[in-house]
Amino acid sequence: VQLVESGGGLAQPGGSLRLSCATSGFPFDAYAIGWIRQAPGKEREWISCISARNVKPLHAASVMGRFTTHRDSARSTVALQMNSLKPEDTAVYYCAADIQGTCGSYSWRISNYNFWGQGTQVTVSS
């Protein structure tokens, strides 16, 4: 099982980045995919979930209206488009897979996620 994040880096406040999560080794179409981030000195924070059936994704209030999540079943990848970035978005961003396959009020629970990537660093600074 592999989840590999890419696309992180340095962005200016107000800028954009697009993260990608490439997956392999498990039935992608059966799993929901979440994005979770961890800022220095803080606990992991759930930020988005997209279901196995690609129903409208859910986003945390802290990123709603700025971040969007997209799923490509043909490529077994999930993208996180991040716009209007703020310094407080600085964190390591992880993608993770949830066998439940759906997203809901429970998606914020980090323990739901079965498989994790290694993370990609996003730094927002001028």
d(CA 8, CA 123): 8
pLDDT digits (tens, 9 = 90+) for 21-54: 999 999 999 999 999 999 999 999 999 999 999 8
pLDDT digits (tens, 9 = 90+) for 52-102: 998 889 999 999 999 999 999 999 999 999 999 999 999 999 999 999 999
Mean pLDDT of 104-118: 94
Q: How many CB atoms lie within 10 A of CB 28?
A: 19
Round to the nearest angstrom and report the end-to-end CA distance of the chain.
37
d(CA 29, CA 36): 20
* Residue 120, strand partner residues: 93
* Residue 34, strand partner residues: 49, 96
